[in-house]
Structure 1
Amino acid sequence: MKSNFAFFEGQWEMLGKLGESAERNVYQDPHTSIMKLRLFGETIAKAILASDNIREAYNTSQVDRINTMRREGLAEPEIIDVFDILRRKGNTASHEANYGKTEEAKSLLELAYQLSIWFMEVYVDWSFSAPKYIEHLQQVDTTKKQLQQKIEHLENEIEAKEKQLIKQLDVITDDTISKDVRVKRREKSQLHVKKHRLSEAQTRIIIDEKLSSVGWIVDTKKLSFKKNKTMPEKNKNMAIAEWKVGSKYADYALFIGLQLVGIVEAKAKHRDIPAALDSQTKAYARLIEEKEGITLLPANGEYKAPFLYASNGRPYLKQLQDQSGIWFWDSRTPHKHAHALEGWHSPEDLRLLLDVDDTEANAKLAEEDITKFGLRSYQQTAVLAVEKALIEGQRKMLLAMATGTGKTRTAISLMYRLIKAKKCRRILFLVDRNSLGQQAIDSLKDTKIEGLSFASIYDVKSLEDMTPDVETKVQIATVQGMVRRLFYNDGEKLPSVGQYDFIIVDEAHRGYTSDREMSDDELLFQNQNDYVSQYRRVIDYFDAAVLGLTATPALHTTDIFGMPIYKYSYTEAVLDGYLVDHEPPYLFESELAKSGIKFEKGDEVEVYDPEQGKIILERLEDELKFNVEQFNKQVITEPFNRAVLNKLTDYIDPESREKTLIFTATNQHADLVVRLLKEEFANRGDVVSDDAIVKITGSIYNPNEMIKRFKNERLPNIVVTVDLLTTGIDVPTITNLVFLRRIKSRILYDQMLGRATRLCPDIGKTHFRVYDAVGIYNQLQKYTDMKPVVKQQHFSITDLHESFTQAETEDEAEHFRNQLVAKIQRKKQKIDDAGQRRFEELSKGVPLDEWAQEIQHYRPEQAQTNSILFEYVATYQTPKELQIISKHEDEIKEVTRGYGEGNEKPADYLDGFDQYIRDNMNDIPALQLICTRPKDLTRKDLREIVTLLDTKGFKQSHLQSAWKQAKNEEIAADIISFIRQAALGEALVDHETRVKNAMQKVYALHNWTPRQSKWLDRIEKQLLQVPILAPTAEEAFSDEPFKSSGGYKVLKREFGDEIDKIVYAINENLYIS
């Protein structure tokens, strides 16, 4: 009988032979048949990648190929599923000698045939007409020996054809295809999937495999109630097909032991799934009847099974969300809507879900006293906001809290409450780098809750332990680690979708790679978009609610998590006394930074070659000029760095308890800064320990250990870094930030500033200082925290070549041609003599310089014809970029303090503030209150006015500094005093003096008891932090820091009616002229 795969001819004949071999083995040796089908799937995958000009690496696995096809959109999700099933089944057969039954092999053979038709229609012959599939019957008239001879003959043919195919694929890979062909293939692929829909029976084959892969015992043809009266068994997790419900049959009933826990409806691929769940699965769940040999769980309403599913076997796609995914609904929580899953719950997932009583968990959360966790009021509000969103069924949430306001502490308290109340079973805490993961682990060990650390109460798995145990409650993992575990793992044991039911993503903004050096882990991703795409796949993979934590939401952050459900800004934190503000920056202006570094044509310059670690001499053919943005990246300038660091030694003390963090451009730059700074302190005559000034980057030995030393020990006192310490590292003693590198990202800049915002009473820290030698503050200060970050895209030669060849208009072609020419001109400067000779071989003698001129007149079709030349230039591996060494002398010309958005002089800044207050006093209610009735001012009013002034560039710390500079008078006045001085001409009074004067009136009211005196002392300390209380005693003491100690009720009991007189006296006397 003719093989169903006989239509494969010519270069694809090997596929026909593999298909035929699988057919011939299906009855005699189904195990071999399944293994042949795995090889069949691998060979088609190789052919697809070659046909799309994607060259495989040496050790590419089938998982890699499938991921590439998925990522590049080379096949529809349904086709990807078939590839994956052939791979999984084949892998099982290769590891288990007796695996494989004839019926299973026959089903897989039919799926492989479907894959063959798709491949022919899309990649081989667009007019291909598929023959009808004919199932081969067992050949009883053929002896075993005859069959074995035929199979051996086939094997020899396959071996010969395989060698030919490897050579053919190399040729195909290099044969560039046009845009039209790519588009046509995608159209044909989509058309095929619409035309050749999988039947419900075939859909069940896919569902069977996916259910089996997560631990269900399933076989639609054998384990069927309708056909074989299959019943559940004790201690077995079974998915029984065609389970009787009333007079109907559900496609699957899920049993854990004898307990019926779920009903599944499997539809054909073209059917809408949510509708199937609503109309059919729910109907079947109502019709379930008690039966001997099964146990029904207590029903909540009319549904006799808790977990209801509908699926058509198609993987979930957001664009086709109603026709894809596994739709799931928990009938025990009717107010929560059905949602799509990436995969099936395992039996263990459902067993754990059964332990969750949502109503009881919500009640426990409400009963749990949130004040006992020692959280600040805004942290409590953040925790309660997340819990409220979870109770309402929200599945994506974002918390935006300023750096240094305790996001990790907030998250730990939230996790504890959710786990204790059994609202969540197991939580995944995702970070984007190992150092942040280690910090989270340390926090879980150190944070005490009810006298014990979190890690001693609950089992926590760290970065090294990728697989949680049954009792694990929190898993710490990196995004990179989870991506590898889920999508680049050729092993068969993947996590189930229910392994975690709550995910917290730390530093969820994660969007500034253009300014960062990529680590080895990050090179797993092609680019930032790929990172975001993969990271999104991780959080979408699990059936879990997801919370993002960030200080600086970026546009892609809100795309994933939505707008923040709660936000606590840096300005609010400073106002509330939880963070320190920074003074106006010290701007170091050097001669070279101002004028740039210039080399004349013909100059002989020293050039550093990082590849060889050598310095070579070169004579310049053209003039070269570098501005400050290129310092320490493209040009090594020791004099500039020495001049800046020499001046810096006037301001920072290496023996002080105040610590300094210096941001540099590269790893080599960091080394240079460490050496020069030590030398400059020595030149001053300062005796500085060698351990006081160190580099901490990813390149050093055990950076995590060095970070711990920086945080916990006196030395090092000055640390030089590139990227490692830009985000998420908490060292409260950091008081000085030094910028020796330019960056473009507002998000990264905010994160850098955030390293110094934390309180540190132990060293008397009241503010932090910024030293700017590269003009970064001027460049980035005008942007607000929430401004969307839209970065300029940097296209590669390959990207531009593809865009040029696919241009549809002359204007579009000219646009991409100009960019492409400019890229080629830059790249050719980096191609050495050997590389240019190889180019001439490919171009049939045309020199690279000449070709670079020719392409300025290319039409798109010419660029397509010469694709190999563009590819060669694009992929040519240039040595690491040479760095020119500058010895131009430099000196600091001026150190200034820039105030406001225009970097004004102190007097001009104060005049601008006065003018703004006078112009707006009658238009802004809070300003009117401050000027006329300050005793009626609430903290909300104060917060509003401080936030408004901050957006205009007027900060309390900057006003204080400007006053000192302009008046030669140091007065630590508060913002209210500055406003009243500007509007009313009141004398400026030190804030502490105002508080002392007002409290003296209070102390004189009564002969207070020792207990009462302690309370008054607390009130005075709070006033020193925040310049007002509130109009009434009840308002003043119903908030933190008094609320957690009993608040207004306790003070009323302690003072009686005197408490109202105390607040009245403070308000009357605090801001009197």
Structure 2
Amino acid sequence: MSNYGYSIFSFHKPETIAEWLKKGKSLRERLLTIPALDGTGLRPAQIVAVNNLEHSFKKNRPKALIQMATGAGKTFTAATFVYRLLKHVDAKRILFLVDTKNLGEQAEQEFMTFQPNDDNRKFTELYNVQRLSSSYIASDSQVCISTIQRLYSILKGEELDESAELDNPNENSWLQNKMSKNKAVPVEYTPKVPIEQFDFIVIDECHRSIYNLWKQVLDYFDAFLIGLTATPDKRTFGFFNENVVSQYTYEESVTDGVNVPYDVYTIETEISQKGETIKAGWFVDRRDKLTRKKRWQQEDEDTEYKRNDLDKKVVNPSQIRNIIREYKKALKTTIYPKRVDSTGEYEVPKTLVFAKTDSHADDIIKIIREEFDEGNDFCKKVTYKIEEDPKSVLNRFRNSYYPRIAVTVDMIATGTDVKPLEVLLFMRDVKSINYFEQMKGRGTRTINNDSLQMVSRTAKNKTHFVIVDAVGATKSKKTDSRPLERQKSVPMKDLLSAVTMGVADEDLFLSLANRLIRLEKQLTEKEKEKLLEYSGGKNLKQMTKELIMAFDADEIATNAQAEIDKIPVQDRTPADIESSRNEAQQELIIQAATTFNGQLNTYLENVRKEHDQIIDSINIDTVTKSEWDTTSIDKATEVVKDFTEYLEANKDEIKALSIFYNQPYNRREITFKMIKDVFDKLKLEKPVLAPETVWNAYATLEEVKNEQPKDELTALVSLVRRACGIDKELQPFDKTIEKNFNEWLFQQHAGKHNRFTEEQLDWLRMIKDHVVSSYHIALDDLDYTPFDAQGGKGKMYQLFGSEMNSIIEELNEVLAA
């Protein structure tokens, strides 16, 4: 036991204890004197998280969980408290633990750009940050960024193939069950990486990859553990001893204006819902999944396919085409109808499409380019399997005009920031609630108007994003994890993962060997040659033999005999013989298991699938539903209700609202400043009720005939007038002023031929235009632009004489009516 009351993996090094004694105050004592946080530049939720975490440290709680909505700045929060621990607590080294290489690179970028509010220098100018790409941990690094896979391999004393860091090792329930029953290769004490190597470990996305096998990595170190996640589950709360120091939900982040809300638009087609049948005798294409080569053949029997068979067993181009065609149409008419540029061309908002497989992604991209009549740059695939550098494509998607649409399988499903995204198009369903929430999180990011318009020129601002659900993803039943599977139906992918992760189990090795024996008979010569590139020159027969021999008693005995022979016969004990056999078996297990790596596993997983897909080009699909989801209508109703209630609650406090509600005869007195006060108060207290959001909510519920005014304040006046009953339907206030002005002019001319001269009419129009932008005109305004250039107050008096004041008062009243 350590001196502060919890189990440790091993003893601390004597040199470490000597160093601690030299320092005087212990780490835990130093934590007690950490100074108060200066919250400048931090959001309220981030301040709460840092303060509560430091309070937890002072209470000597070894584990703490920060739950913070995606997009609310988890990594920035982490950089803040890491900086404070290094500066004020003199922490020696802090580990930032991730589960994919992509997240590690993003964390490194965050630390590189982080500038504390009490120093002019960047974080990396003050402290050394090292992202581990080998087993070497620099002695002078104060922040280490590593995947949990890499750290596990370091503690096992093995090198790690980088491909193993591409996907998160979020085990399914079969694998979890396997690991609880069978001892995985355990980590052992490593003098190069002592248990006191890190004082604090920050675990990013801690809901998914710190259990079972990987838990050993965290149990090894004597360090405070801080978990970061937007989507904790029961296991997460349990692991962190229910010490949740901060909870900041997506709903709270939307209310605070930190994230944007979303609406759901549903597209359904006949075949998406019900499937179809390919009849015997039809001539159809069959396509090789891997090479995508086609051959034409006549079907011998009927093939009925259901919705779940689509894009796996059968590809129906018409089904994909109808969804994409309907998406294009809905974009222009309903989803984002105002995105037309000065040339009259429609600008597609930045869209991320989630596909089922790499092959499915290729089909979608081809059809998107055809339906939108655009070239390759318009729509790109972003997966690890593309020929282009995926990081470069992702960077262009984030920061450049093209591509407008990106299609991914799962590379940018989680933890990747693409702020200008406005649409997520789901063409695959997801059963995991956590994964689905992470995918939705790609659209929640806020972005300032200038940055958005750099990549989407016709967008005014990002007030929300839209989920276009073409597969029922928003309605399907979600679970915490996949249901338990029987061994015989375990996917090959999971068997390969288990072996790679060190599960040493006879059933597992024999099951995988059996699959590889069958696979060997199916592969072409070219596929066998390709496989040698990933396996270090081993063919499937050799891999199979090693898997079987790892648990073969005769092979183990033969290999152990050489070690046993080194011990004189008279000195041999049963324990020696047993030990030699265990060591021999361990060597055989490692020899068999280390062949498998990320690239080989991916190749085996893909090459062993059914080679053929049927291309059903005969059954033509039709769209059966294309509309806002009922949840969007409910949300719109809620937004209008909240807006109306907010105005009611503040009508006596805010002067402009008081006039609109209680003193309609004073509407002529409403000034630009009054409207700005309403807008500023609304933005501060209820950012979720931005004018565009409320306008869109009315448009969802009512037939709004006119477009929203470009100016937010003008839109706000329209909304206030509608909410308090002045207007029976939502009308742009600038158009209302125009209409009132024309009606007034008509009345002035009725029976009074040419009451106003052309020059007077020009001045009246200038006054009307001023009221459009400022809501009111005062006599003193005539001394400023645009009136001053035309002669100002004096010129108007010349034109209108003693009628000048009465005309200004009359126009203020008439135009605001």
TM-score normalised over the length of structure 1: 0.45
1:418 Cα deviation after fit = 1.0
Cα distance in 2 for residues equivalent to 1:532 and 1:992: 58
Distance 1:543 1:679, change over 3 A: same
Q: 1:880 aligns with which of 583, 596, 609?
A: 609
Distance 1:618 1:485, change over 3 A: farther
Identity %: 28
Paired residues of 1:628 and 1:774 also in contact (CA < 8 A): no
Paired residues of 1:581 and 1:957 also in contact (CA < 8 A): no
Distance 1:618 1:360, change over 3 A: same
Cα distance in 1 for residues equivalent to 2:465 and 2:200: 37
Cα distance in 2 for residues equivalent to 1:673 and 1:384: 47
1:774 maps to which residue? 471
Distance 1:935 1:386, change over 3 A: farther
Q: 1:565 aligns with which of 230, 245, 262?
A: 245
Paired residues of 1:635 and 1:885 also in contact (CA < 8 A): yes
Give the secondary-structure state (helix, strand or coil) at the position aligned to 1:442: helix
Larger radius of gyration: 1
Distance 1:655 1:927, change over 3 A: closer
Paired residues of 2:707 and 2:732 also in contact (CA < 8 A): no
1:648 maps to which residue? 327
Cα distance in 2 for residues equivalent to 1:468 and 1:504: 17
Question: Does residue 1:897 correspond to 2:615, yes or no?
Answer: no
1:729 Cα deviation after fit = 0.5
Distance 1:605 1:505, change over 3 A: same
Paired residues of 2:305 and 2:314 also in contact (CA < 8 A): yes
1:627 Cα deviation after fit = 3.2
Paired residues of 2:93 and 2:199 also in contact (CA < 8 A): yes
Distance 1:635 1:462, change over 3 A: same
2:372 maps to which residue? 681
Paired residues of 2:323 and 2:623 also in contact (CA < 8 A): no
1:390 maps to which residue? 57
Q: Deviations over 1:622-680 (max 9, x none)?
A: 54333333322232222222222233334378995942211111111112222222222
Distance 1:879 1:791, change over 3 A: closer
Unmatched tracts of structure 1, length 5 or more: 1-326, 330-336, 512-530, 683-687, 801-823, 836-874, 950-954, 1008-1073
Distance 1:552 1:928, change over 3 A: same
1:606 Cα deviation after fit = 3.4
Number of residue pairs matched? 553
Distance 1:647 1:876, change over 3 A: closer
Q: Deviations over 1:991-1010 (max 9, x none)?
A: 999xxx9x999999xx9xxx
Matching of residues 480-495 of structure 1 within 5 Å: 480-487=149-156, 489=158, 493-495=191-193
Distance 1:352 1:592, change over 3 A: farther
Which range moved further: 442-451 or 724-733?
442-451
1:985 Cα deviation after fit = 11
1:759 Cα deviation after fit = 1.4
Question: Does residue 1:506 correspond to 2:185, yes or no?
Answer: no
Paired residues of 2:698 and 2:704 also in contact (CA < 8 A): no
Distance 1:579 1:620, change over 3 A: same
Distance 1:927 1:395, change over 3 A: farther
Give the secondary-structure state (helix, strand or coil) at the position aligned to 2:476: helix
Question: Does residue 1:743 correspond to 2:743, yes or no?
Answer: no
Cα distance in 2 for residues equivalent to 1:969 and 1:611: 49
Q: Deviations over 1:1037-1063 (max 9, x none)?
A: xxxxxxxxxxxxxxxxxxxxxxxxxxx
Cα distance in 1 for residues equivalent to 2:101 and 2:111: 15
Cα distance in 2 for residues equivalent to 1:408 and 1:459: 17
2:700 maps to which residue? 962
Distance 1:707 1:799, change over 3 A: closer
Q: 1:460 aligns with which of 129, 136, 139?
A: 129
Question: Does residue 1:442 correspond to 2:109, yes or no?
Answer: yes
Paired residues of 1:466 and 1:477 also in contact (CA < 8 A): no
Matching of residues 934-953 of structure 1 within 5 Å: none
Question: Does residue 1:574 correspond to 2:258, yes or no?
Answer: no
Cα distance in 1 for residues equivalent to 2:447 and 2:521: 59
Distance 1:636 1:437, change over 3 A: same
Cα distance in 1 for residues equivalent to 2:108 and 2:733: 41
Cα distance in 1 for residues equivalent to 2:125 and 2:694: 44
Cα distance in 2 for residues equivalent to 1:931 and 1:438: 49
Distance 1:738 1:799, change over 3 A: closer
Cα distance in 1 for residues equivalent to 2:96 and 2:7: 22
Question: Does residue 1:328 correspond to 2:7, yes or no?
Answer: no
Which amino acid is 2:618 matched to?
Answer: H
Question: Does residue 1:477 correspond to 2:146, yes or no?
Answer: yes
Matching of residues 480-879 of structure 1 within 5 Å: 480-487=149-156, 489=158, 493-510=191-208, 532-563=211-242, 564-582=244-262, 584-601=263-280, 603=282, 605-610=284-289, 614-616=293-295, 623-650=302-329, 651=331, 656=347, 658-682=349-373, 688=374, 690-701=376-387, 702-761=389-448, 762=450, 763=453, 764-779=461-476, 789-797=480-488, 879=608
Cα distance in 2 for residues equivalent to 1:589 and 1:403: 29
Cα distance in 2 for residues equivalent to 1:557 and 1:352: 35
TM-score normalised over the length of structure 2: 0.58
Distance 1:767 1:352, change over 3 A: farther
Which amino acid is 1:328 matched to?
Answer: S
Which amino acid is 1:792 matched to?
Answer: P
Cα distance in 2 for residues equivalent to 1:714 and 1:794: 45
Q: Deviations over 1:952-1001 (max 9, x none)?
A: xxx968744422458878699999x99999999997889999xxx9x999
Cα distance in 1 for residues equivalent to 2:348 and 2:436: 25
Distance 1:834 1:694, change over 3 A: closer
Q: Deviations over 1:427-468 (max 9, x none)?
A: 111111111111111111122222222112101111315433
